[in-house]
Amino acid sequence: MTPMDRRRFLKVTAITGTSAALARCGNPEHQIIRFVPEEELTPGIAVWKPSVCPLCNAGCGVLARVMDGDAEVFRNGEAGVTRMGLPRKLEGDPAHGVSQGRLCVRGQAALQVTYHPDRLASPRRRVGERGSGAFEDITWDAALTELIGRLDTLVEAGNAGQIAFIGRPRRGRRAELVAEFLRRIGAPAPVAFEFFDDAVIRRANELSFGRYQLPTIDLARTHYLIGFGADFLGTWNSPVAHGAAYGRMRQGQPGTVTKFVQVEPRMSQTGASANEWVAVPPGTEGVVALGLAHVIMRDGLRPASAAGRAGAMVEGFAQGLAAFAPADVERYTGITPARIERLAREFAANGPAVAVIGGPALAHTNGLAQALAVNALNALVGSVDVPGGVLFTPTEVAPVGPPRSLREVVGGAAAPQLLLLDEANPVYASPPGWHVADLLQRVPFIVSFGAFVDETSVLADLLLPDHSFLESWTESSPESGSADAANATAPPAMHPLYDTRSMPDVLLDVARRLQRPLDPPLPWQTFDEMVQAPTTVPAMPAAPSRAPDTPRAWADARFDGEAGTYPFHFLPYASQALLDGSLAHLPWLQELPDPLTTAMWSAWVEINPGTAERLGIAEGDMVEITSAHGSVRAPAVISPGIGPTAVAMPAGQGHDTFTRYASGRGANPVHVLAPLDEPETGALAWSATRVRIARVGAADGSLILFAGATRERPDHHGRG
Amino acid sequence: MAYRWGMVVDLDRCTGCEACVTACHAENNLPTVGADEAARGRAMHWIRVERYWEGEFPDVRVKFRPVLCQQCGNAPCEAVCPTYASHQNEDGLNAQVYNRCIGTRYCGNACMYNVRFFNFFHPQWEKPLQLQLNPDVSLRESGVMEKCTFCVQRIKAAKSAAKAEDRAIADGSLQPACAQACPAGALVFGDLNDPESRVARLSASPRGSKLLEDLGAEPKITYLHRQGWHESNA
Ligand code: SF4
Ligand code: SF4
Ligand code: SF4
């Protein structure tokens, strides 16, 4: 078929909405196999099936609108067409305590995960050089025989300790199964890897409140809110739940107008909704919190003792934080003492008042100290576990727990002998100084369960694609987002399209077929059975669990790179559309105009107008960003939401290998990051790199804005 | 009594999150045009979120405003259409009859809200993305103008269900996809002819105004401006 024919062919398909024409190239239409439908459907009638959005850890309950249609499928090793129930739209499940009938922009696009043209349809085995992307189809039998053989050999030789598992920080039964499998085979605990990981806030909450858990901010009932860098309405924590609560905060409290103050170095999408926006240098957000606490205690508005254990975690708190008087705060942040005094008075006078910190503010070497400062401020004004304050969602499932970090694997002397990968993409999302790709090259055998080939799974020897979430049992036991437990379990919303297998069932199958049985054996035969059986993991205790720790001293944030050579702070941030880049393969999200820049299909660098003028950079010009660790190029967006000494860049683009929609598009800010971390948790300090910038060329058309496209240009440089 | 569908956009609730934008794509079979066509200004978003910067760093603020077809009562896009493809339906909606549209694009020029989008080419879904299509919404071919319909397929379904049971559509039971998705509850849809409906009551809010109201197109979307905080509110 010529390319021309093929295009025309797709056109017909799209317009008629039928798959009758979807024969493999060269096959006359009458040779298509039509399978007997596996379910009874009433044509044109929609049914709603529950599921859980898999795209982030918020765990929103969804309803899929399922209608009949013809789909190209694989059944018993043959391709053909069948009439089946197909999810056509996802909505929030009104009965779910986190989504409350709503979904975020990413959840709306989750449908495209299932229908993605580059989804892996069957198991594959590497044939070319590692990383070349050359794979061949293989049967499940052959694939599992190979995997089981390798596991048997390792177990037999007493090397089960060299089996590694890298997944995303998921919760729930799937995570429980993985942990139990590894424990019983004698392997170390799974590694949870995500670029925007929340280890710092969880650890801070454990120290301050005895809860190793993300907080829920009871926005709907708060009267005064201070955010420290947390993008809780966009990309952080549980954005649907917090978005819904935010709407009620604004217009659901008759007679009350809540003030929202956001403190951050670069205006986030969340900060854009603040009544008062306070710019501070990166890594000093916590100083503002300590300064507010200082004034509140100094003026006798609250005694230091009111902060209890959370106060006791902050060195000098009991003495009124003498080192954080308004003049000291000004030295750190440039905020005038009068403003600090005013904000402190407002915060203390307008209860219930709550503070929240997250995201970029914690991605510093002093991230833990910053979080502890905000926790103490909340405790000081009595805003923990009260309406309008910080809440902790009761969970039946233990939290992810301090996970094994990727650094332990990367930093270990020997590479693992066998690596199981479950959707994590550390090759794309780790700083160059971690040398993750080098490490993986030294692992003799890598198996990936992901549904797509990305920068990490392209290194795998076996691809064992999982079903999509709509084809699987799904469950959620949200860690945050609700005052009450909001657990959900749902059976598959559709039959699988392809020759894929549910990863938990593959693990259970492998476990059964090992030469030396697991000790003790896993108590479940199938994952369906497991999700319907009670968990084996003890519930998170409702009361603070650990004894108070020693107080932590404030530490100034450290930055990589000499200020002389690298004069700008480099501030990567989570993209509203693509998040950490794991969603860059979804065309709906690629074509979503970014909320603050209207950019689509693009990466960009945000530069302050004065800085741009000084450096001769115009909007769209290509700019090179260089740190001591690498450089990237991206077009400039002139933005008034960032100060003259910083530049910002969204995460998400710059994929080498991640489907036709994401590969070879834009640049990846992670490539310039220094491997600094927050020492207590080992979390990457991704806001801690300094860079220099230079114009390297005129606009090359790679910055695609929607704002210019409909003829209106509401604003260009913020002076419109 | 006839329905008169309208909407309130509460800018005090809107966070600029754009859940509404993708929800609309998914519901209404909007094509993704790809980077090259998007660069030529051909991306289609029946609802978009405009953002306005105010001030200079560090005293800077942003305003978001979701903009979709305003369902004008006196719609300039209708008057200029030679084939009556753009017309007013019985519920006061500005409707587009795709197979009457001959692609003059006069309507797109006449609409001062810039919410009409032209199909410059046949839409394509790389298979199996066509499986995401909503069977209740027709696909538009090249040469045809399209825009927000207030999810007319949902309105039709709700009307026929209500008619079969001989009742009126209950307030709040019918929502376009954008309003259903919106986490913050910023989009309120309903019948302006029902004085008790949420949309009718909110439309009368002192915070309300309409876009380019003085041009006389009689838009049926009311924007509620943000509520300021003053020490005295506390
Ligand atoms: S917040 Fe959005 S991406 Fe995360 S689970 Fe909910 S709908 Fe999905
Ligand atoms: S907003 Fe534009 S497209 Fe919609 S009715 Fe008014 S003039 Fe027509
Ligand atoms: S979904 Fe709602 S809050 Fe988000 S941009 Fe649209 S109208 Fe605003």
The protein residue whose alpha carbon is closest to atom 4 in ligand 3 is: B17
**pLDDT surpassing 60 at residue A716:** no
> What count of residues does chain B have?
234
In one letter, which amino acid is A654? G
Tell me which ligand sits closest to the C-alpha of residue B215. 2
Answer whether residue B66 is part of any domain: yes
A103 within ligand 1 shell (Cβ under 6 A): yes
pLDDT at A542: 52
Residue A143 has phi, psi (to 5 degrees) of: -65, -45
Q: Tell me if residue A538 falls in helix, strand or coil.
A: coil
**pLDDT surpassing 50 at residue A464:** yes
Instruction: Give the closest residue to A434 by CA, choosing from A412, A403, A414.
Output: A412
**Topology adopted by domain A210-391:** Dimethylsulfoxide Reductase; domain 2 (3.40.228)
CB A278, CB A262: distance < 8 Å: yes
Q: What is the maximum alpha-carbon separation in chain A?
A: 85
- In this complex, do A718 and B56 lie within 8 Å of one another by their Cβ atoms? yes
**Topology adopted by domain A568-697:** Barwin-like endoglucanases (2.40.40)
Please name the member of B38, B51, B177 whose beta carbon is closest to the beta carbon of A591.
B38
User: Nearest CA of chain A to the CA of B153: how many Å?
Assistant: 13
The answer to whether A613 contacts chain B (CB < 8 Å) is no
Burial level of A458, CB count in 10 A (0-12/13-18/19+)?
buried
Q: What is the secondary structure of A130-195 as a DSSP string?
A: TTS--EEE--HHHHHHHHHHHHHHHHHTT-GGGEEEEE----SHHHHHHHHHHHHHTPPPPEE--S
B51 within ligand 3 shell (Cβ under 6 A): no
Ligand 1 probe mutation, A51, A57, A99, A102, most atoms within 8 A of CB? A99
Q: How confident is the model at residue A415 (pLDDT cuts 50, 70, 90)?
A: confident
Q: What is the secondary structure of chain B as a DSSP string?
A: ----EEEEEETTT--S--HHHHHHHHHHTPPP--HHHHHTT----SSEEEEEEEEETTEEEEEEEEE-----TT-HHHHT-TTS-EEE-TTS-EEE-GGG-----HHHHH-TT---EE--S-----TTGGGG--TTSPPP-TT-EE---SSHHHHHHHHHHHHHTT-PPPTTS---HHHHH-TT--EEEEETT-TTSHHHHHHT-TTEE-TTGGG----SEEEEPPPP--GGG-
DSSP code at position A550: P
Tell me which ligand sits closest to the C-alpha of residue B72. 2
pLDDT at A540: 55
Helix axes A367-380, A199-209, angle to 10 degrees: 40
**pLDDT surpassing 90 at residue A10:** no
pLDDT in tens, B121-167: 999 999 999 999 999 999 999 999 999 999 999 999 999 999 999 99
Residue located via tokens 């030789």? A157
Mean pLDDT of A640-657: 97
Mean pLDDT of A471-486: 92
Question: How many domains, chain B?
Answer: 1
Q: How far is the CA of B181 from the centre of ligand 3 (A)?
A: 8
Domain membership of residue B49 as a residue range:
5-229
pLDDT at A398: 55
Atom of ligand 1 nearest to the CA of A105: 2
Mean pLDDT of B221-227: 96
Atom of ligand 1 nearest to the CA of A240: 1
**Which residues of B fall within a CB distance of 8 Å from A718?**
53-56, 60
Q: How confident is the model at residue A8 (pLDDT cuts 50, 70, 90)?
A: very low
pLDDT at B232: 57
**Which residues of A fall within a CB distance of 8 Å from B60?**
267, 277, 640-641, 718
d(CA B86, CA A332): 60
Interface confidence, given as ipTM, is 0.97
- In this complex, do B234 and A246 lie within 8 Å of one another by their Cβ atoms? no
Answer whether residue B29 is part of any domain: yes
Q: Which residues of B119-140 are buried (b: 16+ CB within 10 A; e: fewer)?
A: beebbbbbbbbbbbbbbbbebb
Residue located via tokens 């100034």? A556
pLDDT at A21: 40
Tell me which ligand sits closest to the C-alpha of residue A250. 3
**pLDDT surpassing 50 at residue A14:** no
Residue located via tokens 């020693």? A550
Answer whether residue B85 is part of any domain: yes
Show the tokens assigned to A341: 């005094």
Answer whether residue B77 is part of any domain: yes
pLDDT in tens, A564-587: 999 999 999 999 999 999 999 999
B19 within ligand 3 shell (Cβ under 6 A): yes
pLDDT in tens, A672-695: 999 999 999 999 999 999 999 999
**pLDDT surpassing 90 at residue A707:** no
Cβ neighbours around A521 below 10 Å, total: 11
Answer whether residue B234 is part of any domain: no
A492 within ligand 1 shell (Cβ under 6 A): no
User: Nearest CA of chain B to the CA of A300: how many Å?
Assistant: 20
d(CA A279, CA A142): 58
Show the tokens assigned to A362: 């914690």
Q: Give A153-158's long-range contacts (Cβ < 8 A, gap of 24+).
A: A154/A417, A154/A418, A155/A185, A155/A186, A155/A514, A155/A515, A155/A516, A156/A515, A156/A516
Answer whether residue B72 is part of any domain: yes
Residue A376 has phi, psi (to 5 degrees) of: -65, -35
Show the tokens assigned to A57: 């850890």
For residue A107, what is the nearest residue in chain B, using CA coordinates? B19
CB A280, CB A335: distance < 8 Å: yes
Answer whether residue B106 is part of any domain: yes
Does a cis peptide bond (omega within 30 degrees of 0) precede residue A3? no
Mean pLDDT of A198-217: 94
Give the residue extent of every domain in chain A: 124-195+417-532, 210-391, 568-697
**Which residues of A fall within a CB distance of 8 Å from B139?**
14-15, 17
pLDDT at A26: 47
CATH number of the domain that residue B183 is part of: 3.30.70.20
B217 within ligand 2 shell (Cβ under 6 A): yes
Report the mean per-residue pLDDT for chain A: 91
Show the tokens assigned to A262: 């956001």
**CATH architecture of the domain formed by A124-195+417-532:** 3-Layer(aba) Sandwich (3.40)
Lowest mean pLDDT among A16-20, A146-150, B26-30: A16-20
**pLDDT surpassing 70 at residue A267:** yes
